[in-house]
Amino acid sequence: MNVKLLNPLTLAYMGDAVLDQHVREYIVLKLQSKPHRLHQVSKSYVSAKSQAKTLEYLLGIDWFTEEELSVLKRGRNAKSYTKAKNTDIQTYRKSSALEAVIGFLYLDHQSERLENL
């Protein structure tokens, strides 16, 4: 299957799950705390605002390949039928763009690149 041909919102859906799993694993191993505290900390990493800031940083250091930039733009520009929660539409689109790239890397089995991210 050519992962690049998947709907960018599908890639973002997958990327959201992958990011959440990685963040939870990192926090559980690092903090070894109660579930409520773990949830509070994980929210700060997986929030749309945090993802948008991460995206801006990575764009600023030219981290993405041309292929990833293409996926990123498709993810950012995709028409979503869900409303942004607790953030503005621009921040939501940036976070969806980053999630799309994460989903793309995961489904394309680019595990080393994903880990670097």
Mean pLDDT for the stretch of residues 109-116:
94
Q: Domain map of the chain by residue range?
A: 3-116
**Residue 88 annotated to the active site:** no
State how far the alpha carbon of 115 is from the alpha carbons of 5, 48, 81, 92, 102, in Å. 23, 20, 30, 23, 10
Which tops the pLDDT comparison, 29 or 108? 108
Catalytic residue among 16, 20, 88, 108: 16
Q: Name the nearest CA neighbour of 51 among 111, 8, 92.
A: 92
CATH architecture of 3-116: Orthogonal Bundle (1.10)
pTM above 0.75, yes or no: yes
Distances 90 to 59, 94, 113 between C-alpha atoms, Å: 15, 6, 26
Q: Which of 105, 99, 117, 107 minimizes the C-alpha distance to 16? A: 99
Q: How confident is the model at residue 33 (pLDDT cuts 50, 70, 90)?
A: confident
106 pLDDT band (50/70/90 cuts)?
Answer: very high
Per-residue pLDDT tens over the stretch 35-93: 888 888 888 888 899 999 999 999 999 999 999 999 999 999 888 777 667 788 899 99
So what's the pLDDT on residue 45?
84
Rounded Cα distance, 62 and 71, in Å: 15
